[in-house]
A and B are shown apart, each in its own frame.
Chain A
Amino acid sequence: MENGDGSDASEQDWYISRTHGVYHIPGCAKGEPFALLIIKARGDALDLGDNRRFPFTITARQIAEDLLQDLHDHGIFICEGARPSSGELATATARREGFYQKLITEGDTMWARGHSFREISDLHRRAAMGLGVEREWAYVPMRMGDCPACGEKVKIGVAVCRHCSAILDEEKAAKHGLGAGAAATRLNANGAQSAEKKSRA
């Protein structure tokens, strides 16, 4: 293998320093399936003294495996081809999600022991956010809006105020069977049914 192509399905950047160079594993940009780092073979040398050197080559595969070490769980892997296949990406994603699940379980256990934030790391919180899981120990601040009816804080883009039940988006509310629009639709439907019954009679 001439090139060791490392793929990163995680959103984190990693900088790794070696005597043969500093490597930057880029994080996966939002909306992209992966980020790619192409690694090439490097040369190094042992100094034998008396101006004699023993040069040797470090293969791209060796470098890639060295760089990864404990990063596999973050969705980083060495792809066999020039680009990662969908199968490789699916495996990496599944591995990362498994790792995240383990971290969430760990976070739950630590939280249950004493409700202490000290032991729960940002990585645990990142895992919860990554899987979209809500936890007390992984609070995610979000932008809120004011309900025009009662003034309480509500999530942006919701159809109904959770505090005063005011309809904030009629179209969306009707779509989910809520509010006057939905009632009117129901009435129309009932009216049509009764008219049909009358005509049958």
Chain B
Amino acid sequence: MVHDGLTGAQPTSLFGILYHQTNATTGTWLNLNRATYPVELATPAVNGNNSAITPGAVRLAINKVRKSLGSNQVSKLIAYTALEQEHQWEQLGVTISQIIKEGAGGRASDLDLLFTGEKTMAGVPIKSSINANQTRVDFLDLSHWGRAVMQDIDFYDVGGQTVFPIYGTSGGLSAAYIFYFVTGFQVWNESPRSGSYINNLAIPTGY
């Protein structure tokens, strides 16, 4: 995640999922040299091989967390992914769907060939976002993630003034004003091996 305006080959900005959840053995992680801790800092990964998601890949990703922590040590995960991968997952479900004609609080006669309820991957709730990477599914244990706030978000304040004039090209005041929000925070993760991810997944046609 890099803010607009930062330049350079490797600008450091807000850390995100791609920074914390990687199986890299080179480079750095939170000021540690990854080469020194190639196993401890590597998040278990499943290569999607430019293919559509399958239940086998999901099973493998979750089991990799169990293998790295101990099968009983896995906390509550969420499957954070993009709408594209949620779409692919639903497509897999369509092939085994059946229409229940009874129950459902009187709505059973409504024909819905797609999915509207809560969706899971092996019991892991899916949290989809338009901001997620289109080719990944990240299994996150949010009890190990957090946001370190160094400065609460507030108006940019200069001696009590939070609204500033804008000058036009003539040097006179424009008929507008400007204000800024400032904040200081960083996203942290204290246990990169508590999650896993599937990457290089194919994006369905149309997106």
Chain A residues with CB under 8 Å of chain B are 12, 14, 17-21, 44-47, 56, 58, 62-63, 65-66, 69-71, 74, 116-123, 126
B49 CB contacts on chain A under 8 angstroms: 12, 74, 121-123, 126
Contacts A62-B25, A65-B25, A119-B56 supplied; 12 other A-B pairs, CB < 8 Å: A14-B200, A17-B18, A18-B22, A19-B28, A20-B27, A46-B28, A46-B33, A118-B55, A119-B55, A120-B54, A122-B49, A126-B49
* In the assembled complex, B143 has its CB within 8 A of some CB on chain A: no
Q: Is the CB of A118 within 8 A of B92?
A: yes
Number of A-B contacts (CB under 8 A): 74
CB neighbours (8 Å) of A17 from chain B are 18, 22
A selection of 28 A-B contacts at a CB cut-off of 8 Å is A12-B49, A12-B50, A17-B22, A18-B22, A18-B24, A18-B26, A19-B10, A19-B28, A20-B27, A21-B9, A44-B10, A46-B28, A46-B33, A56-B33, A58-B27, A62-B25, A62-B26, A66-B24, A66-B25, A66-B26, A70-B47, A71-B47, A117-B95, A119-B56, A120-B54, A122-B49, A122-B202, A126-B51
Residues of B within 8 A of A20 (CB): 10, 26-27
User: Nearest-CB distance from B8 to chain A (Å)?
Assistant: 12
Q: In the complex, what distance in Å separates the CA atom of A58 from the CA atom of B200?
A: 25
Provide the bound-state CA to CA distance between A32 and B25, in Å: 31
Residue of A nearest to B50 (CB): A12
Complex CA distance for A120 and B54, rounded to whole angstroms: 7
Question: How far apart are the CA atoms of A126 and B202 in the complex, in Å?
Answer: 13
Tell me whether B19 is interfacial, beta carbon within 8 Å. yes
CB of B85 within 8 A of chain A? no
By a CB distance below 8 angstroms, the chain A residues around B28 are 19, 44-46
Within the complex, what minimum Cβ distance (angstroms) separates A23 from chain B?
A: 11
How distant is the Cα of A123 from the Cα of B51 in the complex, in angstroms? 6
Complex Cα spacing A109 to B138, Å: 29
Closest residue on chain A to residue B56 by CB atoms: A119
CA distance A134 to B26 in the complex (A): 41
- C-alpha gap A126/B51 in the complex (Å): 9
CB within 8 Å of A: which of B1-45? Answer: 9-10, 18-19, 22-29, 31-33, 35
A120, closest chain B residue (CB): B54
Measured CA separation A12–B48 after assembly (Å)? 12
- Across the interface, B31 reaches (CB within 8 A) one of A46, A71, A118, namely A46
Residues on A with C-beta less than 8 A from B55 are: 118-119
Whether, in the assembled complex, B74 has its beta carbon less than 8 Å from a beta carbon of chain A, the answer is no
In the complex, the chain B residue whose C-beta lies closest to that of A45 is: B28
